[in-house]
Structure 1
Amino acid sequence: MNTEKNYSPISGYLMLLVVAVLTIGSIIVFAFTKFPLLLLVFALSLVLLPGFFFVNPNGSRVLVLFGDYKGTVKKNGFFWVNPFYSKQKISLRARNFDSERVKVNDKVGNPIQIGVILVWQVENTFKAAFEVDNYENFVKVQSDAAVRKLAGQYPYDNFEDDEAEITLRSGLDEVNSALEDNLTQRLKIAGIKVIEARIGYLAYASEIASAMLRRQQATAIVAARHKIVEGAVSMVEMALDQLSKKQIIDLDEEKKAAMVSNLMVVLCADKDVSPVVNSGTLNH
């Protein structure tokens, strides 16, 4: 049996009244009668005391009698059960787990540092109590294993084409969904419900961080230059077309080449251009 079952205990207030009557009554009667059996009644009232317990909101108690699982009390309040029951407290509250940053290799072998933020809660108290040794430590270990597996499935980034495949940096929705599915499967054995799982920290490892930063900067510069050249070609083409249509000046191929060269230098330069005034002809 690996299923959870609810247990309905006796009201603690009712049993507290019974124990109080037995204890006080046996003491008073014994004081007057000296009847020895009343000592057994008094001893019985003391034996009943360990059966009292309380359950806070979003809490539970797993009841076991000599190795036999009797059920789980999830209703909050003050109760009494068989005093020989062991009563394991298991919280049903949602909990946050912020994992340590682990150093792993991504899909293409780059060393990265990654951490996960997990929101979880106990859903099945039987599995949490008996299927694993320590369900809280089980969550930590399995979260670490899931992060390592996730990092090996995706590259950190893709400089050649961001749209070519999912990456850890750009495909957060897909990556977080895969992480949550993986953790759900891993923690199901311990009766743990995964409410949310997402990457909380992601960066290149320190030994390659500076090199990757320069690579990112170079990629950005190349992309910017590509746009600049593309725009410059369009502007030169438009200028030549307008000059030809309006017949402002008649340019032969050599002059067009010189004009194109000058315009491309002006439009693509990363510094302001210093104009030179030609006071002679077009050829000087």
Structure 2
Amino acid sequence: MTVELKGMKTSREHAAHSYSGYIMLGVLVVLTALAIWSLMSGAPPEGAAKAAKVMFVMRLLGSILGIMVVAAGFFMIQPNQAVVITLFGEYRGTERREGLRWVWPWMIRKKISARAHNVHSERVKINDLRGNPIEIACNVVWRVSDTAQAAFDVDDYKEFTNIQIEAGLRTVGARHPYDDMSDEDETTLRGSADVVNAELCAELNDRLRVAGIVVDEAGLTHLAYAPEIAGAMLRRQQADAVIAARQKVVIGAVGMVEDALNKLAHDGIVQLDDERRAAMVSNLMVVLCSDREAQPVVNAGTLYQ
């Protein structure tokens, strides 16, 4: 059965008609026993007519041919395995029932695994949304859902899957920046793993649908700047970290100075005019924000001298 999809006839899986191999195994045993009995007891005596000898040979050849036909039709199906059956180039269905099965020997049988496959892609170099070269890799869990499409709509479904995984990874990686360099809250490859992994899974399912492949899970396993810009990006990240730390220190210091001045004024420890207040604020900010230990300076005079 075929349907039209984007101008191409796409195959669709349907159940095949096969026989129980255990019943046919009994038939094979019976035919073998009959052939042996015919050979041992049905041989014409010496001097018998030529026609009797010919009939004996014909019966013997018929028994051997029957045994060969029955014996050639057996095939075994393991759990999570399917067999695609064709007859003279025509798709006759897919057999998924486990155990020993039998079809006519002139029907061609092709086994396809329906088990989950795990693929770890190679590291590929791409440019992210901002044009920065990055290295990226992913891990994909996929399986065959439609054996007819996998067998007839692509030449080699495993090779097709590997190529499409790399193509899908390049596409998704180029849609987003590696990291958020602005204040905007946007999706990034490094900071939005769940979103990127879901997008990669959807992209691969869309690409592999033509081959009857379903992606159950996809996720990034490697993400880094390319070596030629890794050093510069590391320095930028370090600078961002220093700025963020300094900003936090300054904000905390301002709060501490404010609390200190309010405490001094509230307890009446010292009365400060605007100039003395400014000097104390300056001294406290230097002590709290400096990355070195503060050195005390003893003032023998007054602030106004």
Identify whether the pair has TM-score above 0.5, normalized to the shorter chain.
yes
Task: Return the offset for 1:150.
Answer: 0.5
State the one-letter code of the partner of 1:155.
P
Match of 1:83 among 96, 100, 105: 105
Task: Return the offset for 1:31.
Answer: 3.8
Match of 1:209 among 222, 226, 230: 230
Task: Return the offset for 1:281.
Answer: 4.2
Q: Which residue of 1 aligns with 2:58?
A: 37
Separation in 2, partners of 1:234, 1:18: 94
1:169 to 2:178 alignment: no
Q: Which residue of 1 aligns with 2:199?
A: 178
On the 8 A contact 1:60/1:90 being kept in 2, the answer is: yes
Aligned residues: 283
Q: Which residue of 1 aligns with 2:53?
A: none
State the one-letter code of the partner of 2:122.
E
1:14 to 2:36 alignment: no
Show CA shifts across 1:74-104 (max 9, x none): 0100011010111110111111111111111
On the 8 A contact 1:30/1:36 being kept in 2, the answer is: no
Show CA shifts across 1:228-269 (max 9, x none): 111112222222233233332232332222222111110101
On the 8 A contact 2:126/2:133 being kept in 1, the answer is: yes
Q: Which residue of 1 aligns with 2:115?
A: 93
Task: Return the offset for 1:33.
Answer: 2.8
- TM-score (normalised: structure 1): 0.94
Separation in 2, partners of 1:273, 1:16: 95
Match of 1:51 among 63, 73, 83: 73
1:3 to 2:12 alignment: yes
Structure of higher CA gyration radius: 2
Moved over 3 A (4+): 276-284
Structure 2: gaps spanning 5 or more residues: 3-10, 44-55
Separation in 1, partners of 2:174, 2:303: 64
Task: Return the offset for 1:198.
Answer: 1.2
State the one-letter code of the partner of 1:179.
L
Separation in 2, partners of 1:20, 1:83: 17
Local SS of the residue matching 1:36: helix
Separation in 2, partners of 1:239, 1:14: 95
Match of 2:263 among 242, 249, 262: 242
State the one-letter code of the partner of 1:45.
I
On the 8 A contact 1:123/1:191 being kept in 2, the answer is: yes
1:104 to 2:123 alignment: no
State the one-letter code of the partner of 1:139.
T
Separation in 2, partners of 1:43, 1:246: 114
Match of 1:23 among 10, 32, 44: 32
Identity of aligned residues (%): 49
Bigger shift: residues 227-236 or 38-47 = 38-47
Q: Which residue of 1 aligns with 2:7?
A: none
Task: Return the offset for 1:283.
Answer: 5.0
On the 8 A contact 1:232/1:267 being kept in 2, the answer is: yes
Structure 1: gaps spanning 5 or more residues: none
Match of 1:274 among 277, 289, 295: 295
Bigger shift: residues 39-48 or 184-193 = 39-48
Task: Return the offset for 1:202.
Answer: 0.9
State the one-letter code of the partner of 1:101.
R
Task: Return the offset for 1:44.
Answer: 2.5
Task: Return the offset for 1:280.
Answer: 4.8
- TM-score (normalised: structure 2): 0.88
1:233 to 2:254 alignment: yes
Bigger shift: residues 76-85 or 201-210 = 201-210
1:254 to 2:275 alignment: yes
Task: Return the offset for 1:279.
Answer: 5.2
State the one-letter code of the partner of 2:181.
F
Local SS of the residue matching 1:167: coil
State the one-letter code of the partner of 1:28.
W
Bigger shift: residues 47-56 or 28-37 = 28-37
Separation in 2, partners of 1:208, 1:166: 22
Local SS of the residue matching 2:101: strand
On the 8 A contact 2:122/2:137 being kept in 1, the answer is: yes
